[in-house]
């Protein structure tokens, strides 16, 4: 299309050049029989110069030749012959011809140079635009969209990308755009181009009997795939280098996305593999220990006539083991409720003393070897919480402290209230946490000292989830005097008890 | 305990039934077992047990429905024993007329205590004028409450609250029920009133208000009067 139009325009220019030259000669006809025929040569020279400013070399050459011929034939005496009588006219004619030629050719060349510079600038701009758009695009699909658009804008052709599947194979169904289905030949050519990293198809050394031209996309580490275009003509050297630069930019952008995707996939696989392994290992371990205790203890109760002291010791073991199993199940249930987003806090007014006493009572066995110091101020207002969830939070935090604090040490649970926020702090004299651990303690299945303490590493992440269900925050820090301190902040309001109702039904 | 109280267990889990039978028989109760809701209703009608232990997840009918059907004619205590542990389920069961609710897994000691409490309050239901809990006595007619023989000054609301809980000793009363009974329908959302009065009451009647033994909190559900 583009090229056809160019051809037609060229022919038009030749015609126009001839017409204008002829016309000028005709207009100058009245001067033919005067002594002023030299003036005509200037007029013709002027016209040729004008033509040179917008026509190519060919038409200008034609115009110069024609004007020389016209001048000689019609204006230099004797008229209507190519014969020239005067020597000075021969000289002028020769000079005229040379000046017309030089003038015409020089002007067009200057114009060509200028056009070249303009084109180059346009291309540089286009490349800059492409680079900018590509760097903004995130994800393979966006990069492809930008690439197809920019190719259309600057080369006036449609393009089709086929990308590899991440395992260095092009797949016909893979990431092909939907609009076009490739024929088997085209697909083979694409595969060949990808494998050999060379141009294939029409207008290439490997035509392979298809209408399209296929260019491989090459990155530094990964070859993203191929691009398929339909070209009318071969690219000019200039266009070719422009096109190559375009493809390099696109390939780099695609490679960037590819590598990013691959890295993410690897990370994801690693993570889920690790999670699965940890979960499996710790669940089977955590289940086996109490089950082993229950089996062993009950077996020895069945098979021998133990003393009643022994009997009660064994039953105690069974009881403790079953509590541990029960806690494990509770934690698994809670974490799965949190994961599935089924937790929503049902807020109501509660007395924090109630909550604290309840948890302390539930944990009285675990806390036996510690001193639990509870600090709830006398003027502590009622708070709006979900009792069940907060009970679990405190329970988990205290259990955590009992696992890390040295025996016979103090565990401090303090609660306070100021400006619409309740602050709960649990401090212990344990080893505290390292910087790295601080960032990890609330993660699922994370345990400090993997083997020393039991548990799945779920307690703290459940606590965090439940606190967040109250729109609150939980944080951890090491105390200056040693040990860890958990701080929970929960937004609450002050209860409306000003007009506290005494009942009248007396 | 009457000479021999009969307890009906409605539960489809064989192992739970066996555990309950061993435990309850050892404590001197006579035990009948039903493995589903339909049988349970028939057994309740034919044996007239002193107390029923009902599971909610029954194979044929939902336990809540059985509870409602039972309550159409059965006035004696029903204790729910279920794996369902959500506050909704518990409150619904209590609203449907259950006297108490224990979640599985449970401690048999706890269950026996709840059974004793339910049966005793059943037997004491005959409106006695004076209720005694250890050192605490409540005179229902003269509205006088004494602790260690000292008269306690209670406000009218504190007294109604105490009386309601004491009369239903051993039984879990939901927040809404207490608010409705003591303050009236309009106030059933005003949990904060209840909290404030419970705290006040505890300071007056409990030996150690921070470790209450009489006015016991049931997490997220309500209160129960213990001994």
The domain spans of chain B are 6-124, 130-225
The shortest CB-CB distance from B191 to any of A322, A349, A357 is to: A349
User: Closest approach of chain B CAs to the CA of A413, in angstroms?
Assistant: 14
Q: Residues A215, A216, A217, CA angle at the centre, nearest 5°?
A: 115
The shortest CB-CB distance from B183 to any of A348, A354, A501 is to: A501
**CA proximity to A353, closest of A393, A373, A380, A390:** A380
Distance, in Å, from the CA atom of A383 to the CA atom of A181, rounded to the nearest integer, reads 66
Distance, in Å, from the CA atom of A373 to the CA atom of A356, rounded to the nearest integer, reads 11
DSSP helix/strand/coil, B101: strand
> Does B160 sit within 8 Å of A506, measured CB to CB?
yes
CATH of domain B6-124: 3.40.50.2300
User: Closest approach of chain A CAs to the CA of B44, in angstroms?
Assistant: 32
> Does B198 sit within 8 Å of A351, measured CB to CB?
yes
Distance, in Å, from the CA atom of B134 to the CA atom of A48, rounded to the nearest integer, reads 129
**CA proximity to A455, closest of B12, A463, B174:** A463
The shortest CB-CB distance from A388 to any of B156, B198, B219 is to: B219
Q: C-alpha distances in angstroms, A74 versus A36, A60, A71, B11, B172?
A: 13, 20, 6, 127, 129
Peptide bond into A78 cis (omega under 30): yes
Residues lower than pLDDT 70 in chain A: 1-6, 171-180, 306, 447-456, 498-506
Indicate which of A344, A354, A377 best probes the interface with B, i.e. most B CBs within 10 Å of its own CB. Answer: A354
Q: C-alpha distances in angstroms, A329 versus A324, A390, B217?
A: 9, 18, 24
Quickly count helices (H) and strands (E) in chain B: 8, 12
> Does A503 sit within 8 Å of B183, measured CB to CB?
yes
**CA proximity to B154, closest of A238, A502, A222:** A502
**CA proximity to A382, closest of A499, A503, A500, A497:** A497
A187 with A226: CB under 8 angstroms? no
A227 with A214: CB under 8 angstroms? yes
- Nearest chain B residue to A506 by CA distance is B156
Distance, in Å, from the CA atom of A168 to the CA atom of B195, rounded to the nearest integer, reads 69
Q: Which residues of B touch A (CB under 8 A)?
A: 87, 105, 155-157, 160, 175, 182-184, 187, 190-193, 195-196, 198-199, 210-212, 217, 219-220
The shortest CB-CB distance from B199 to any of A351, A374, A391 is to: A351
User: Closest approach of chain B CAs to the CA of A499, in angstroms?
Assistant: 10
pLDDT for A385 equals 92
A386 with A469: CB under 8 angstroms? yes
Q: 3-state secondary structure string, A410-442?
A: EEEEEEEEECCEEEEEEECCCCCCCHHHHHHCC
- Nearest chain B residue to A348 by CA distance is B191
Using a CB-CB distance cutoff of 8 angstroms, which residues of chain A are in contact with residue B219?
A: 358, 387-388, 391
Q: 3-state secondary structure string, A2-19?
A: HHHHHHHHHHHHHHHHHH
Q: Which residue has 């006579």 as its token pair?
A: B30
Using a CB-CB distance cutoff of 8 angstroms, which residues of chain A are in contact with residue B157?
A: 501-503
- Nearest chain A residue to B217 by CA distance is A354
| Domain covering B130-225 assigned CATH 1.10.10.10 in the classification | yes
Q: Which residue has 């000793």 as its token pair?
A: B169
pLDDT for B94 equals 92
- Nearest chain A residue to B108 by CA distance is A319
Helix (H) or strand (E) holding B193: helix B191-205
Q: At residue A297, what are phi and psi to the nearest 5 degrees?
A: -65, -45
> Does A391 sit within 8 Å of B210, measured CB to CB?
no
> Does B195 sit within 8 Å of A349, measured CB to CB?
yes
The shortest CB-CB distance from B196 to any of A358, A361, A497 is to: A497
Distance, in Å, from the CA atom of A284 to the CA atom of A78, rounded to the nearest integer, reads 119
Contacts of A492 (CB under 8 A, 6+ apart): A383, A384, A385, A417, A420, A421, A422
Instruction: State the average pLDDT over residues B115-128.
Output: 72
Quote the ipTM score. Answer: 0.78
Lay out the sheet containing B172-174: strands in order across: B172-174, B222-225, B215-218
A54 with A115: CB under 8 angstroms? no
Using a CB-CB distance cutoff of 8 angstroms, which residues of chain A are in contact with residue B190?
A: 501
> Does B190 sit within 8 Å of A502, measured CB to CB?
no
Using a CB-CB distance cutoff of 8 angstroms, which residues of chain A are in contact with residue B195?
A: 349-351, 354, 382, 495
DSSP helix/strand/coil, B222: strand
Q: Residues A455, A460, A465, CA angle at the centre, nearest 5°?
A: 130
Q: Does B6-124 match B130-225 in CATH topology?
A: no
User: Closest approach of chain B CAs to the CA of A366, in angstroms?
Assistant: 17
Instruction: Name which residue leads in pLDDT, B82 or A223.
Output: B82
Domain ranges of chain A: 2-131, 140-261, 348-491
Using a CB-CB distance cutoff of 8 angstroms, which residues of chain B are in contact with residue A496?
A: 192
A462 with A330: CB under 8 angstroms? no
> Does B183 sit within 8 Å of A326, measured CB to CB?
no
User: Closest approach of chain A CAs to the CA of B141, in angstroms?
Assistant: 12
Indicate which of B101, B161, B191, B217 best probes the interface with A, i.e. most A CBs within 10 Å of its own CB. Answer: B217
- Count the alpha carbons within 13 Å of A109 in the hemisphere toward its beta carbon: 7
A193 with A201: CB under 8 angstroms? yes
> Does B156 sit within 8 Å of A503, measured CB to CB?
yes
Contacts of B113 (CB under 8 A, 6+ apart): none
Helices (H), A156-236: 184-196
Distance, in Å, from the CA atom of A28 to the CA atom of A23, rounded to the nearest integer, reads 9
A184 with A194: CB under 8 angstroms? no
CATH superfamily, region A140-261: GAF domain (3.30.450.40)
Cβ pairs A/B, distance under 8 A: 62
Instruction: Name which residue leads in pLDDT, A177 or B13.
Output: B13
Indicate which of B178, B219, B224 best probes the interface with A, i.e. most A CBs within 10 Å of its own CB. Answer: B219
A103 with A52: CB under 8 angstroms? yes
With cut-offs at 50, 70 and 90, classify the pLDDT of residue B123: low
Tokens of A248: 């390099």
Distance, in Å, from the CA atom of A208 to the CA atom of A214, rounded to the nearest integer, reads 11
The shortest CB-CB distance from B219 to any of A387, A497, A506 is to: A387
> Does B192 sit within 8 Å of A382, measured CB to CB?
yes
DSSP A173: S
pLDDT for A422 equals 94
Whole-angstrom distance between the N-terminal and C-terminal Cα of chain A? 102
- Nearest chain B residue to A385 by CA distance is B220
Using a CB-CB distance cutoff of 8 angstroms, which residues of chain B are in contact with residue A351?
A: 195, 198-199
Find residue A375's DSSP bridge partners. Answer: A414
Q: What share of chain B is helix, strand, coil (3-state, %, to 5)?
A: 45, 20, 35
Of how many residues is chain A composed? 506
- Angle, helices B108-124 vs B14-26, to 10°: value is 60
Contacts of A293 (CB under 8 A, 6+ apart): A317, A318, A320, A321
Instruction: State the average pLDDT over residues B4-25.
Output: 91
A398 with A363: CB under 8 angstroms? yes
Looking at the domain A348-491, which fold is it? Heat Shock Protein 90 (3.30.565)
Using a CB-CB distance cutoff of 8 angstroms, which residues of chain A are in contact with residue B191?
A: 348-349
Find residue A229's DSSP bridge partners. Answer: A159, A213
């Amino acid at each position: 299309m583009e090229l056809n139009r160019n051809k037609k325009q060229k022919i038009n220019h030749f015609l126009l050049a001839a017409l204008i030259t002829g016309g000028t000669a005709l207009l100058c006809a009245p001067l033919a029989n005067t002594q002023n025929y030299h003036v005509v040569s200037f007029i013709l020279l002027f016209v040729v110069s004008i033509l040179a400013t917008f026509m190519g070399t060919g038409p200008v050459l034609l115009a110069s030749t024609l004007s020389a011929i016209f001048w000689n034939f019609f204006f230099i005496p004797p008229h209507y012959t190519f014969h020239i009588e005067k020597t000075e006219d021969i000289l002028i004619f020769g000079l005229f011809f040379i000046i017309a030629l030089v003038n015409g050719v020089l002007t067009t060349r200057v114009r060509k140079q200028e056009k070249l510079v303009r084109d180059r600038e346009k291309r540089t701009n286009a490349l800059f635009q492409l680079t900018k758009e590509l760097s903004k695009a995130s994800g393979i699909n966006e990069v492809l969209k930008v690439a197809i658009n920019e190719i259309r804008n600057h080369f006036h052709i449609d393009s089709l990308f086929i990308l590899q599947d991440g395992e260095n194979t092009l797949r016909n169904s893979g990431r092909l755009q939907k609009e076009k289905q490739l024929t088997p030949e085209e697909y083979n050519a694409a595969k060949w181009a990808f494998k050999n990293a060379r141009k294939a198809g029409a207008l290439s050394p490997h035509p392979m009997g298809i209408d399209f031209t296929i260019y491989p996309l090459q990155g530094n580490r990964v070859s993203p795939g191929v691009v398929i275009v339909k070209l009318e003509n071969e690219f000019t050297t200039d266009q070719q280098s422009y096109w190559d630069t375009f493809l390099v930019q696109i390939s780099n952008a695609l490679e960037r996305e590819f590598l990013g995707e691959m890295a993410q996939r690897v990370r994801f696989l690693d993570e889920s593999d690790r999670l699965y392994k940890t979960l499996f290992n710790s669940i089977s371990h955590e289940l086996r220990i109490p089950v082993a205790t229950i089996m062993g203890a009950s077996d020895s109760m069945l098979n021998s006539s133990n003393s009643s002291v022994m009997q009660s010791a064994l039953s105690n073991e069974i009881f403790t083991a079953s509590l541990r199993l029960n806690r494990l199940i509770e934690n698994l249930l809670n974490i799965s409720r949190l994961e599935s987003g089924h937790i929503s806090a049902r807020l109501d007014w509660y007395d924090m003393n109630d909550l604290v006493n309840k948890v302390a009572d539930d944990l009285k066995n675990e806390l036996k070897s510690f001193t639990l110091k509870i600090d709830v101020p006398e003027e502590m207002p009622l708070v709006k919480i979900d009792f069940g969830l907060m009970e679990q939070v405190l329970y988990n935090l205290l259990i955590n402290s009992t696992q890390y604090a040295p025996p016979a040490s103090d565990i401090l649970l303090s609660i306070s209230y100021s400006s619409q926020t309740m602050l709960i702090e649990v401090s212990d004299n344990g080893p505290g946490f390292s910087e790295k651990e601080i960032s990890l303690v609330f993660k699922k299945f994370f345990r400090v000292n993997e083997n020393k303490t039991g548990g799945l590493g779920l307690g703290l992440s459940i606590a965090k989830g439940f606190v967040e269900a109250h729109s609150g925050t939980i944080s951890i820090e090491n105390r200056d005097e040693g040990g860890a301190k958990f701080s929970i902040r929960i937004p609450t309001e002050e209860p409306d008890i000003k007009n506290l109702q005494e009942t009248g039904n007396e | 305990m009457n000479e021999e109280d009969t307890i009906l267990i409605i539960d489809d889990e064989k192992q739970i039934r066996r555990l309950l039978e061993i435990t309850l028989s050892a404590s001197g109760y006579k035990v009948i077992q039903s493995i589903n809701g339909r049988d349970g209703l028939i057994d309740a009608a034919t044996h007239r047990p002193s107390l029923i232990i009902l599971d909610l997840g029954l194979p044929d009918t939902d336990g809540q429905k059985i509870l409602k059907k039972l309550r159409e004619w059965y006035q004696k205590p029903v204790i729910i024993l279920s794996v369902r542990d959500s506050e909704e389920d518990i409150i619904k069961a209590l609203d449907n007329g259950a006297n108490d609710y224990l979640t599985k897994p449970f401690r048999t000691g706890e269950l026996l205590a709840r059974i004793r409490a339910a049966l005793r309050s059943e037997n004491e239901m005959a409106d006695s004028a004076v209720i005694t809990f250890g050192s605490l006595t409540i005179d229902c007619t003269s509205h006088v409450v004494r602790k260690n023989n000292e008269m306690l000054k209670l406000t009218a609301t504190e007294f109604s609250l105490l009386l309601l809980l004491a009369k239903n000793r051993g039984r879990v009363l939901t927040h809404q029920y207490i608010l409705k009974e003591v303050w009236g329908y309009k106030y059933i959302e005003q949990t904060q009133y209840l909290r404030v009065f419970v705290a006040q009451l505890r300071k007056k009647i409990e030996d150690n208000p921070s470790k209450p033994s009489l006015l016991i909190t049931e997490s997220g559900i309500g209160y129960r009067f213990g001994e």
